[in-house]
Chain A
Amino acid sequence: MSGAAQRALLAPARWRAWELAAWALLWAVPVVFGQHAALVNEIAILALFALSLDLILGYAGIVSLGHAAFFGVGAYGAALFAKHVWADPLVGLAVGTALGGLLGLATSPMIVRGTDLTRLMVTLGVAGVLLELANKFDGLTGGADGLQGVVMGPIVLPFVGRFDFDLGARVASFYSLAVLFAAFVLLRRVVHSPFGVSLQALRDNRLRLAAIGLSVNARLTAVYTLSAALAGAAGALLAQTTGFASLDVLEFHRSADVMLALVIGGAGWLWGGLVGAVAFKLLHDLVSSVTAQYWTFWIGGFLVLLMLVGRDRLFRPWTWWRRGAR
């Protein structure tokens, strides 16, 4: 391959200057605003969750209303592991991730068939089944009261030191940010690899992908599993940094929230999850401080308006007043 062509093909995969700057900024936030570390932690977890949804929604075109299933499994898995087996956070994180991935692998045959509606219903149903199960086996999960008494051990990094989780959530925020960063770098590799490009081809036209001899189902299974594993990691982070897991992690609103965050940031663009998570949490905090109880009204109104205007126009203000730009 000639040098120019290679460079042109590799151009989208290269790190831009603004991306490095944005990450430097993200790392600086918990250092500068130490008193808001809990919020930073929440944002990082939501961003990781949105990132995992972006992988299947933005790149593979799988609509899902039940992504909370994997989040919840990761959260309960990590919390139970810490309570009953070993309190080491990194091992717990691996357990949560693996559980999420396993569930994704197990449920992936359900999403390779059917239409958008079928997929919406099946993903919704899987999350519903898990919610009912978690409610039923309340001896294990604590049921509606939540799983109490999860005490995390310190994060032990070889050659660096040990960090205890503190009440101000400073360690937690750095921990979550580090996991988010690792996931981001990994996904950046994945979506610019031949596999990632074939996913986008699959999203645009399944039939053609099959016609050029690539296996559609194997790709869908792989990406769904990867996404589920990352969602499991996000759930594990939440359970570990708050020391708590309740039925809330499996509820419908969690799936809806992450979808909303992703849509605000824009799907099919890895930064969308991060931007969306920041915007969503800040919006949440802002509206809640005005009307704590009725904030869903405003978020709903925002969503309706956004969809009427067209979500891809959010970042193109110059098209707002032009009709029919789609």
Chain B
Amino acid sequence: MLTLLFDGIAYGMLLFVLALGLAVTMGLMNFINLAHGAFAMAGGYILIVLMQRAGWPFLACLPAAFVLTAAAGALLERTIYRPMYGKPHLDQVLFSIGLSFMAVAAVDFTMGSSPQVVQLPAWLRGRFEFGSGPWALGMGAYRLFIIACCVALALALQAVLTRTRFGSRLRAAVDDPRVAAGLGLPVDRIFLLTFAVGSGLAGLGGALGADILGMEPTFPLKYMVYFLIVCAVGGTSSITGPLLAALVLGIADVMGKYHVPKLGAFIVYVLMIGLLLWRPQGLFSREAGR
């Protein structure tokens, strides 16, 4: 029971890091980016390639995954994402679906279609057991590591957003890009940087979760729904909203798959539809947007 809860929390934290970049792009640019999962997949594959083929240690691969996907994100933002900001939502959706299709086929071509196996280092394969009976708690070292990383990231991001100059600029740009630009803030550059960091976070999340989530070419389509749910339910105006939404989603999904494995993602979908019917603007959003 507690073990399931623990696994759910680890899964939820992972979803949070993965979806955070998407929440920021949606809140900032009002841009629906369905290709976000592609960045996460890129991160996962970078980890696998570096570890398996180049023999890098696990810990060195994580920052590499972050940096490389962030660079890719910055490049794509500059070249093809920017013209899409002003377009209608339908165009954005189709554009990003097209991007994910390309990513799926490209990875399929270069890496093969079979799921990749991650060789975790020995110190992450351990397991701690506490208590016994129905309240036994088994914690995998790998999941503990994920939770620690994600908590640290969440705290760091929260600090950056609320304490630093960049954070206040970013919040100003989210609130009203035109006024922010009028006050002389380099909104374009803020967007670029934020997009890059968001993509990098997705890459890092993909690398961290490569073992739990399973890396295969259809990854972006498979997890797209999860990311979108986190953003739609959690709202895009704060960090806590997506965090709570991701935790709820992670726990519900792990519990659901454990108790009724045949139903698969059924519980997640029903939960999402229910939440969205109850609060169409998201659970934790500020009152009705602009």
Contact = CB atoms under 8 A, between A and B. Distances in A.
Interface string B98-113: 1111111110110000
Interface of A is mostly: helix
Contacts of A135: 262, 264
Interface in B83-138: 83-84, 87, 89-95, 97-106, 108-109
Contacts of A303: 94-95, 97-98, 101
Given A121-B276, A125-B273, A252 B98 contact: no
Given A124-B228, A129-B270, A304 B98 contact: yes
B232 interface: yes
B98 A302 contact: yes
A122 to B, nearest CB: 6
Interface string A109-125: 11001111110111011
A247 to B, nearest CB: 11
Interface string B203-232: 000000000000000000100010011011
Interface in A243-261: 252-253, 256, 259-260
B263 A132 contact: yes
B54 interface: no
Given A260-B94, A300-B102, A307-B84, A115 B273 contact: no
A260 to B, nearest CB: 7
Interface stretch (A39-47, A185-193, A291-299): A291-299
B90 A114 contact: no
Contacts of A79: none
B95 to A, nearest CB: 4
Interface in B243-290: 262-266, 268-270, 272-273, 276-277, 280-281, 289
Contact of A115 (B87, B92, B270, B281): B281
Given A110-B277, A125-B272, A133-B266, A299 B93 contact: no
Nearest to B86: A326
What range describes how many residues of B lie at the interface?
A: 35 or more
Contact of B89 (A116, A128, A132, A297): A116
Nearest to A267: B90
Contacts of B277: 109-110, 113, 122
Contact of B272 (A121, A253, A260, A304): A121
Interface of B: 26, 32, 80, 83-84, 87, 89-95, 97-106, 108-109, 221, 225, 228-229, 231-232, 262-266, 268-270, 272-273, 276-277, 280-281, 289
20 contacts: A114-B276, A114-B281, A115-B280, A115-B289, A117-B26, A117-B228, A118-B276, A126-B273, A128-B266, A128-B269, A129-B269, A129-B270, A136-B266, A260-B97, A263-B90, A294-B109, A300-B102, A302-B98, A303-B98, A307-B95
